Amino acid sequence: MSTNQIGKPTNRVDGRAKVTGEAKYAAEFHVPDLAHGVVVNSAIAKGKIKKIDTSKAMAVEGVFKVITHENRKDYACYDKDFKDMDAPPGSPFRPLYNGNILFNMQPVALVVAETLELARYAATLVEVAYEEEAHETDFEANRGEAYVPEKYNSTTPPKPWGNPEEALAKADVKVEVEYAHPTEHHNPMEMHATVAVWEENGKLTVYDKIQGVENTLQYITSSFGLPKEKVHVLSPFVGGAFGSGLRPQYQSFLAVLAALELKRPVRVMLTRPQMFSFGHRPRTTQRFALGASKDGKLEALIQDVFAETSTFEDYSEDVVIWPGLLYKCDNMKFSHKLVALDEYTPLDMRAPGGTTGIFALESAVDELAYKLGMDPLVFRLKNYTDKDQNNDLPFSSKELRACYIQGAEKFGWEQRSKEPRSMRNGHQLVGWGVAHGAWEAQQAKASAKAVLTTDGKLTISSATADIGTGTYTVMTQIAAETLGLPLEDVTFKLGDTSLPFAPLEGGSKTVSTVGSAVKKVCEKIGEKLLRLAQQQANSPLKDAELKDVTFTDGRLHLKSDTAKAVSFKEIMQLGQREQLEEEVSSKPSEEQKKFARFAHSVAFVEVKVDEDLGAIQVSRIVTAIAGGRIINPKTAKSQIMGAAVWGIGVALEEESVMDNNYGRFMNHDLEKYHVPVNADVHDIDVIFVEEQDTIVNALGAKGLGEIGIVSIAPAIVNAVFHATGKRIRHLPIKLDKLL
Ligand code: MOS
């Protein structure tokens, strides 16, 4: 049996558990005496609670308590500005802290009852009187108040280079345009939920929906002043999160608060409408000024971004780093300003800043290419950059050209007729569009532990998460390959604060970060096995180094002499060891920092637009990805296809509609907040181009969580222009915009 596990299209190791219901999500941990908490949300966007009357709710039999800012216990720490691991600069929102209302649908009370039904009913009986103040939720109306934050929680916008204004003035061909996209909300299948289990000995077990248990631990211990040893956080399965679970949300706090006050286990699960009451992709308006010479050389680029944030935190994301990574140009300049509104702080959402920044950049570049009379793909090739101009660094690898070539061929780009409205299919206008994108291949510090027992079973653990991306599976593959074990002999454990530290699962860095630690810890076990084997008299491995040996099928042998293999079991029995154990941490190397490390993508899209009705069908997507080494082509393809589907949503459907009279997002359910359904999704073809990268990390893998989405929406926008001759600069492109 071959033990080459990396690169195999392996089925998910947790697949069976997931489809049989064996896999438990946060809200599914049933414990005896579980009480149910239901959140009451504010009806106004700004002001104060004058009076909160809980008597009617309390009169319902089976209601244990209605907790409000008036009757909650005091926790000294709560008065300080505690931070979670993902908090942007500012003062984090503290649920039930006082009577001030900072945003619409702010939690104002938690009703805890014997059953969910009772709690839900009693929650409708809580009466809140407000002293309302005028709120500001109108982004456009407040753009004049935009400011440069003291500190960006994302990359600080790159310093300008060259002389962009002068180069723009002199350019032969110019495009000066403004793009906008709306606020979007995360809609994972699993709603945010927490079960907090209080025990007599003062210990607290918390099952939370989170993209990294360490963050809930930090949030809970710092807000309630609890010692870390007393709190155990678990999150073995997450039903999608997309960034919504990077920060612990208010239901975590409220479940713990109620558990501590009532001294019993409490579950709080948010409803779908409540999923619209925290965190979202911030809307932005982006001004682009582009100048080129007649022959299509990009001479100047200026990008000015306005993005929303809350009044209490300065959230920002990487909207302005893309031009310097994707186009060679001697004159570039950027600004990124925030507009503070009476709403909850925005939150990372798949490819934060990339999805939006690349949408606007790639649309603007398409406009320029048309003005120049150039094929948009040829324009991109002509202005290709081999350097990250933001930081003046070479790329660790960049097979974007291969993406263009292989994608164009598969799509048939050559057959494209140049003029808009020149291709049709009966009553449908047909359009072809292209866009490219990038996403950073980060690595962070992480730890992993390995235990190998005499039965040849290996258990690896790290407190990372699997938000549906396939972490369980790829970590199992990496460990199995490193120690030459069959997959079924390897178990990977995650989502538990008793395991070695790992950072949040976000930013497409888990394979790189945790995978590197897993590989390293398995190599350590391999080394231990070798040393142990060498202690035996007449060992054929006597003078061997690690590089001289191979691990295959649970056995160790010299590379030069495969006949004399010795099994792990024998080695451990002869060495009188019950088990071998190692724990390591790994971190990015100094060498890596000398390079810009990014994954790249290209999307080719075909749309068919009904000429009379404006209905858009995304009939074909070919997307080519340069993501380094692909650990599992099957889960990788799923990632990219899911991202492409979301790209359709970004371009055509998703939009959180703020009613400025109420200061509330009004379409807070999946009936009115549209995401793509099967009928919206047609052919999606995913290509992974060959990309060798020995710098990015020990695995050569770049991470695929986010690269799949960034180029899809602009390719659709560009295809719609090619089909209709209409340039839509405000997303989403609903059909009324085409009529
Ligand atoms: Mo992702 S938006 O970094 O969870």
Pairing of strands 428-440, 423-425: antiparallel
Give mean pLDDT, residues 372-386.
Answer: 98
Residue 480: other Cβ atoms inside 10 A: 26
Residue 212, by phi and psi: left (phi above 0), alpha (psi -120 to 50) or beta? left
Question: Within 13 A of 162's CA, how many CA atoms are on the CB side?
Answer: 20
Measure Cα distances from 575 to 524, 530, 551, 597 in Å. 17, 11, 18, 44
C-beta of 86 in contact with ligand 1 (< 6 A)? no
The residues pairing with 38 across neighbouring beta strands, listed in sequence order, are: 111
Give mean pLDDT, residues 107-121.
Answer: 98
Structure tokens at 226: 């609890």
Residue 739: other Cβ atoms inside 10 A: 9
Q: Separation of 580 CA from ligand 1 center, angstroms?
A: 35
C-beta of 647 in contact with ligand 1 (< 6 A)? no
Q: Separation of 164 CA from ligand 1 center, angstroms?
A: 33
Architecture per CATH, 346-442+594-738: 2-Layer Sandwich (3.30)
Question: What is the model's pLDDT at position 83?
Answer: 79
The reply to whether 15-21+444-587 and 346-442+594-738 are identical in fold is: yes
Question: What is the model's pLDDT at position 26?
Answer: 98
Atom of ligand 1 nearest to the CA of 244: 4
Give residue 538's pLDDT band: very low, low, confident or very high (50, 70, 90): confident
C-beta of 643 in contact with ligand 1 (< 6 A)? no
Give mean pLDDT, residues 482-495.
Answer: 96
DSSP letter string, 579-607: EEEEEEEE---TTGGGSB-EEEEEEEEEE
| pLDDT tens per residue, range 314-325 | 999 999 999 999
| pLDDT tens per residue, range 167-215 | 999 999 999 999 999 999 999 999 999 999 999 898 999 999 999 999 9
| pLDDT tens per residue, range 205-251 | 999 999 999 999 999 999 899 999 999 999 999 999 999 999 999 99
Q: Separation of 509 CA from ligand 1 center, angstroms?
A: 10
C-beta of 649 in contact with ligand 1 (< 6 A)? no
Q: Separation of 445 CA from ligand 1 center, angstroms?
A: 17
Higher pLDDT, 1 or 141: 141
Atom of ligand 1 nearest to the CA of 241: 4
> One of 214, 440, 523, 706 is an active-site residue; which one?
706
C-beta of 350 in contact with ligand 1 (< 6 A)? yes
| pLDDT tens per residue, range 657-712 | 999 999 999 999 999 999 999 999 999 999 999 999 999 999 999 999 999 999 99
Probe target for ligand 1 pocket from 187, 348, 646, with the most ligand atoms within 8 Å of CB:
348
Write down the domain spans for the chain. 15-21+444-587, 31-134+188-271, 346-442+594-738
Among candidates 574, 616, 136, 601, which has minimal Cα distance to 404?
601
Least confident among 78-92, 470-484, 652-666, 667-681: 78-92
Q: Which residues have CB under 8 Å from 547's CB, separation 6+?
A: none
Atom of ligand 1 nearest to the CA of 350: 2
Question: In CATH, what number does 31-134+188-271 get?
Answer: 3.30.365.10
Give mean pLDDT, residues 151-157.
Answer: 95
Question: What is the model's pLDDT at position 82?
Answer: 73
Pairing of strands 683-688, 616-626: parallel
Structure tokens at 253: 């706090």
- Give the helix/strand (H/E) hosting 551: strand 549-552
Q: Separation of 528 CA from ligand 1 center, angstroms?
A: 37
Probe target for ligand 1 pocket from 244, 246, 439, 646, with the most ligand atoms within 8 Å of CB:
246
Q: Separation of 475 CA from ligand 1 center, angstroms?
A: 19
C-beta of 347 in contact with ligand 1 (< 6 A)? no
Q: Closest residue (by CA) to atom 4 of ligand 1?
A: 243
Flag whether pLDDT at 466 surpasses 80. Answer: yes
Query: pTM for this one?
Result: 0.97
ipTM of the complex, rounded to two decimals: 0.96
C-beta of 352 in contact with ligand 1 (< 6 A)? yes
Pairing of strands 107-113, 231-234: unpaired
Q: Which residues have CB under 8 Å from 464's CB, separation 6+?
A: 212, 446, 471, 475, 494, 495, 502, 503, 505, 510, 513, 514
Measure Cα distances from 185 to 92, 453, 461, 492, 632 in Å. 19, 46, 32, 32, 29
Question: What is the model's pLDDT at position 295?
Answer: 98
Question: In CATH, what number does 15-21+444-587 get?
Answer: 3.30.365.10
Percent of the chain residues past pLDDT 90, beyond the cut: 93
Q: Separation of 210 CA from ligand 1 center, angstroms?
A: 11
Q: Exposed/middle/buried for 21, CB within 10 Å: 0-12, 13-18, 19+?
A: exposed
User: 706 catalytic, yes or no?
Assistant: yes
| pLDDT tens per residue, range 285-317 | 999 999 999 999 999 999 999 999 999 999 999
Flag whether pLDDT at 76 surpasses 80. Answer: no
Residue 96, by phi and psi: left (phi above 0), alpha (psi -120 to 50) or beta? left
Question: What is the model's pLDDT at position 497?
Answer: 98
Atom of ligand 1 nearest to the CA of 352: 2
Give mean pLDDT, residues 131-139.
Answer: 98
Atom of ligand 1 nearest to the CA of 243: 4
C-beta of 247 in contact with ligand 1 (< 6 A)? no
| pLDDT tens per residue, range 564-618 | 889 999 999 988 999 999 999 999 999 999 999 999 999 999 999 999 999 999 9
Flag whether pLDDT at 423 surpasses 90. Answer: yes
C-beta of 676 in contact with ligand 1 (< 6 A)? no
| pLDDT tens per residue, range 239-263 | 999 999 999 999 999 999 999 999 9
Higher pLDDT, 14 or 76: 14
Give residue 542's pLDDT band: very low, low, confident or very high (50, 70, 90): confident
C-beta of 349 in contact with ligand 1 (< 6 A)? yes
Q: What does the mean pLDDT of the chain come to? A: 96
Flag whether pLDDT at 2 surpasses 50. Answer: no
Q: Separation of 348 CA from ligand 1 center, angstroms?
A: 6
